[in-house]
A and B are shown apart, each in its own frame.
Chain A
Amino acid sequence: MITAAVLALLALPLVMLRRRTLFAYYAIDLATWLFAWILWRRVPGFDPGVDFYLGFVALAILKLTTFSIFVAVGKDVRWSPLRAAIAAAIVYAMVIPAMVREHTVIDGDEPYYLLVTESIVRDGDLDLANQYRNLATSEAGRTDLGPQTGDPTGPDGQQYSRHEPFLPLLMAPGYAIGGLYGALATIALFGVLLVRSTMRWLEDEGISDAAARAVFPLFAFGPPVLFYATRIWPEVPAAFFFVEALRGMREHRAKRWLPALLGLVLLKLRFVLVAIGLIAASGRRKLVAIAIVIVPLLVMWLASGSATSVHSWREILPAPGERYVTGFFGLLTDGMSGIPFQAPFYLFGLAAILRWKNTPRGFRMGILGGSLYVLYLLPRPEWFGGWAPPLRYLVFLMPVLALGAASIWDRLSPGAVAIVAACTVGLVIHGVAYPWRLFHIANGENAVGEWFSRMYHADFSRLFPSFIRENAAAWVGVGVVVLFVVLIGRIGPIGPIGPIGLIGLLLALGFYCALQPPSRVEFEDAHVIDNGAQLYPDYYTLMRVTYRGGKVLNAGNSLSFLAREGEWTLHAITGLGATFEIGPNTYRIEPDPRYQTIRVKIPRSGRVALRCSSGAINVDRMERDE
């Protein structure tokens, strides 16, 4: 895998660079290999525990970054959407093995899509009953799979998947040729087509070559497109169909947009909302809209006997207002699933919305077309995407946001671009080196916060905005992101010094603040050191986000955490009754089937131990009474 990656990295510049730019690239390439070699020889002497795989991934991504910089600002660049697609193909081919590396299995909906594909290829049907019985023969590598709650069943014991069969159908030829890798290659092929279509679309919409070249790597090699193009999800094919539909509509070519829209709605039923929005935004006929709604329902009914699968018509009724607020601001700022923390480049696309009248028509059509879908996404309990890589439900919209970003590229601060690019590099290194960490349980923390929290045993997670488990940083985050977007969208380019200096200062201040004892402790969080306590509910509990609870302590178990001095309120539940100690004080809590609040006192700021001396108690959180 590493040899292939090295060869790919050497071949990549040949696709797009030439003459002096190519020479300069290879000179830097040689220098970085030299320095990487020196480090490789030296580092074991310093720290034998260093993760060399991570080091290699970091090196490869840094080389990809160097290539991207050359593509963006180089003088001798052979630029065309086709070349961009070839470059993307090389990169995706390089990343796929990393995604299914040893000990890494496909996860979330992916194994189910693969099971359906296997069923199509091996049995010629959609019945998964025999697949579930013989999981050892599946290339999914998952023997723990079973039908999901509410999956459609047939009259003769057939067991169908809740997932639409169109994606498995698309993957079937690839799977038949190359198994799991063939299926992944099919998705990557859609990724390549997506890159080509998007770059062609940028050209069609009058975006300059310079802007397109700058946007291309951030779009094609950045999250979420890179991760979804190298895993088995319908999001990247959907994005491709969406772009094709938009291009077709802009060109008034029904032969392009109609099949593209059909492909989109067949991939996932939820994309019907996109299709309706798009048809409405483009002023197309209502008859087409009705047909677009009916076709996927019909296909699903024929395939599984249930037109709406696990969905219900009630889902289209309006939800309470606050859920829209949570979903909207969550997607805007959440540390685990928000755009700034998972795909910061697309903040530029959001900023473009503020320059609505000056944006390309395709951008406006795309945003309007996706609005209905986003409106229905916001109030859903899984607005963050559920058990999937980040921004799952918005991937199809990324080409549109990329177009928006490209349309205001000349107005962007170089400092903001540098910061966003650096963050993107970090996210890609993390996602490629540790693909399983692309999945994060919805607990109000994110990977970075957890990592630092564990390292310092201090609550770093509270500094990251969370709308999954709303915290104080959430609304501060909203303010910062809105300010950032408005500054970019409405004010002209500003120098790089201010934004970069500010980021440095924010990082340092954040670090300083995170080390201080907090005023709120969530007991399930990574910074809490537990001695025998058990997480509640279990980590992989379905829709875990909807449960309260944190850690269950039996007699003798304890928790240790940082906290400020003062009066606190402890939220806990106990069915047995419990006696526990916090610092020098002992408290008794009586059995009750409901959650109770207990006033406790922490004598001085610093590390505190909560110890259960008798009974058992499930502690949820503790808040300081201000």
Chain B
Amino acid sequence: MDRLRWVLAAAVSAYACHLAVHHTTPIDRALPLLGVLATVLAAVTYPAVMLAVPVLILAEIAVPAEEVRLLAFGVIFAIGLIGPIGPIGRIGRIGLAIVLVVLLRWIPLDSVLWGRELFLLAIAVLIVLVLGSTRFAVAVAVITALITPAVPLRTLALPLVVLFVCVAARVFGMPKIELRWVSSIALAFVTLFFAWSGIVARAFPYFWRRAARPMPRVEIAQALPPRADVTFEVPPNAHALIVSGANVARLRRGTPLARVGDAVVRIGDAADWGYMRREQFYASRNPLPRDAAGQIRGYGYAAWVDGAGRIALPAGARSVRVVVDASLPAGAALQVEGFEIAPR
């Protein structure tokens, strides 16, 4: 009877969320799924967590700014995770892991590779069981699932390796580890940004960093081949040049890309424009640029940030000379996106 009640509650939540969908992003469109996940979370932890459903609906209809609204969804789920910090049973832990893996990987729904995702879900459940159904086990399982691109197929070896290590550790006497607070905070952090879980997975430091306020740009949009030598006039109040690479995803950190004025721009100052896409990430060797100026693109597990970096200009410079490194591979280019203008 109790299970039937929860199934009914999930159905009602999904319908209510469906009615409330007003905005058009994949996360908003997935609101019924979020409603069901919140209900399942409540069922496996504490019933009061179900309050997340009306609050999600309220956020959908009351917060017009897209990113703030999506962040509000994340806050709601993060509170739902930190709130029920008390003990929950084995089924609860497994349910928690399933909810989080679905939340972090299955949105947008139309990009889900069903076979691989179900396999990953099964591995995540096994990791939870092997590690003794603790909150730490949930954290290991969820984070493993999160960082597994599943594209190409061989990347599914990663969760298998983690599972093997867990089994081995338990066989050799590793005790159950709870680490309740640390695990909860780690889970809450990844959940906070679930609307861009792809970025959390592939560029973890991105959300740790202070975000720069959006600033106007003067567009240049030029792709410069190796050995190119171009001088650009610096517009008034420009404080940085925004550059990214093309076809440089396989270059390692520190590889020179170009010289901007007197400064050498390397991989690490900027990256390949699309290196963080799910399909390209596995083959890429680029790190997140130190001063990332890329824009967030896509949603959920398909989200990524382009590899643009912010290169500071000397104060008072009227022009800047850009010389692309001659050692760049054929087909590679430095993309000069534009100047960023500092607010007056």
Contact = CB atoms under 8 A, between A and B. Distances in A.
A499 to B, nearest CB: 9
A501 B68 contact: no
Given A34-B185, A43-B68, 10 more contacts: A41-B210, A48-B214, A414-B48, A419-B51, A451-B62, A497-B47, A500-B50, A501-B9, A504-B35, A511-B22
Interface string A45-76: 11111100000000000000000000000000
B181 interface: yes
Nearest to B209: A41
Interface in A1-58: 24, 27-28, 31-32, 34-35, 38-39, 41-50
Which 10 pairs show the lowest CB-CB distances between chains A and B? A45-B211, A46-B67, A508-B19, A508-B16, A508-B20, A41-B210, A504-B54, A496-B47, A504-B53, A504-B16
A41 B211 contact: yes
Contacts of A422: 51, 54-55
Nearest to B43: A497
5 contacts: A38-B208, A496-B47, A497-B6, A497-B50, A504-B35
A32 B213 CA distance: 23
Do most interface residues of chain A lie in helix, strand or loop, or is the interface mixed? helix
Given A42-B211, A46-B71, A418-B51, A511 B19 contact: yes
A507 B5 CA distance: 20
B153 interface: no
B197 interface: no
B144 interface: no
A46 B161 CA distance: 37
A503 interface: yes
Interface string A81-121: 00000000000000000000000000000000000000000
Interface in A465-515: 495-498, 500-505, 507-509, 511-512
Contacts of B192: 35, 38-39
A418 B48 contact: yes
A415 interface: yes
Contacts of A451: 62
Interface residues of A, number: 42
Q: How large is the interface on B (under 10, 10 to 19, 20 to 34, 35 or more residues)?
A: 35 or more
Nearest to B207: A42
Interface in B56-85: 57-58, 61-62, 64-65, 67-68, 71, 75, 78, 82, 85
B184 interface: yes
A43 B9 CA distance: 33
B121 interface: no
B213 A507 contact: no
B181 A45 contact: no
B50 A44 contact: no
B5 A508 contact: no
A500 B51 contact: yes
Interface in A418-460: 418-419, 422, 451-452, 455
Contacts of A497: 5-6, 9, 42, 47, 50
Nearest to B54: A504
B12 A504 contact: yes
B33 to A, nearest CB: 15
B61 A38 contact: no
A511 B5 contact: no
B184 A501 contact: no
A455 B65 CA distance: 12
B61 A511 contact: yes
Given A504-B16, A511-B57, A45 B51 contact: no
Nearest to B180: A27
A508 B55 contact: no
B333 interface: no
A39 B210 CA distance: 9
A452 B62 contact: yes
Q: Which of A32, A495, A501 has the most CB of B within 10 A?
A: A501
B15 A44 contact: no
B183 to A, nearest CB: 12
Contact of A48 (B47, B188, B210, B213): B213
Q: Which of A415, A495, A496, A509 has the most CB of B within 10 A?
A: A496
B91 to A, nearest CB: 17
A65 to B, nearest CB: 10
A31 B50 contact: no
Contacts of A28: 82, 85
Interface in B171-218: 181, 184-185, 188-189, 192, 207-214
B47 A415 contact: yes
B13 interface: yes
Given A495-B47, A500-B50, A43 B184 contact: no
Contacts of A508: 15-20, 57
A502 B210 CA distance: 40
Contacts of A38: 189, 192, 207-208
A507 B54 contact: yes
Contacts of B17: 504, 508
A71 B192 CA distance: 27
A258 B54 CA distance: 48
Given A46-B211, A415-B47, A500 B188 contact: no
Nearest to B58: A507
Contacts of A44: 211, 213
A210 B86 CA distance: 19
A512 B57 CA distance: 12
A45 B6 CA distance: 39
A511 B20 contact: yes
A503 B48 CA distance: 13
Contacts of B42: 497
A495 B5 contact: yes
Nearest to A460: B61
Interface in B83-130: 85
Contacts of A418: 48, 51
Given A414-B47, A452-B62, A501 B213 contact: no
Interface in B11-40: 12-13, 15-20, 22, 35
Contacts of A31: 82, 181, 184-185, 188
Contacts of B47: 414-415, 495-497, 500
Contacts of A35: 75, 78, 188-189, 192
Given A27-B181, A43-B211, A47-B65, A507 B20 contact: yes
